[in-house]
Amino acid sequence: AQTVTQSQPEMSVQEAETVTLSCTYDTSESDYYLFWYKQPPSRQMILVIRQEAYKQQNATENRFSVNFQKAAKSFSLKISDSQLGDAAMYFCAYRSVQGAQKLVFGQGTRLTINP
């Protein structure tokens, strides 16, 4: 079974600075999807960024980018120019391409933005 590990329960960063959230995963599959979700106090999970494992190029979405290291099974999220609205829980998640379509989540990282 696949597992996802987020080793940083909490992180903080100064507004306008850059922060990197870590995620590692374990799988025997060669093709899969990886995601970062943001969960503000409203509880709704919001998709931040998505990466297909067969793509070597790292995904980017405006201020958000990933460092995908397939051999190391690492998938970190970099947030540039941090804003107060970025404060939330961030979850890394894995999904198989074949078979079960469920998302496997890490335990989450609480990100605090200091003004």
Partner 1 sequence: GAGVSQSPSNKVTEKGKDVELRCDPISGHTALYWYRQSLGQGLEFLIYFQGNSAPDKSGLPSDRFSAERTGGSVSTLTIQRTQQEDSAVYLCASSPSGRGGYTFGSGTRLTVV
Residue whose CB is less far from partner 1, 6 or 82: 6
DSSP assignment of 33-70: EEEEEEE-TT---EEEEEEETT--SPPEETTEEEEEET
β partners of residue 86: none
Give 44: exposed, middle or buried? Use CB within 10 Å, 0-12, 13-18, 19+: exposed
* 28, two tokens: 């025997």
β partners of residue 105: 93
Exactly one of 20, 24, 50, 74 binds partner 1 (CB under 8 A); which one? 50
Question: What is the nearest approach in angstroms of partner 1 to the Cβ of residue 58?
Answer: 18
**Residue count at the site for partner 1 (CB under 8 A)?**
20
> Is residue 101 a contact residue for partner 1 (CB under 8 A)?
yes
Question: What is the nearest approach in angstroms of partner 1 to the Cβ of residue 13?
Answer: 21
Cβ–Cβ < 8 Å for 34, 94: yes
Question: What is the nearest approach in angstroms of partner 1 to the Cβ of residue 72?
Answer: 21
> Is residue 49 a contact residue for partner 1 (CB under 8 A)?
no
Footprint of partner 1 (CB under 8 A): 4, 42-47, 50, 91, 93, 97, 100-108
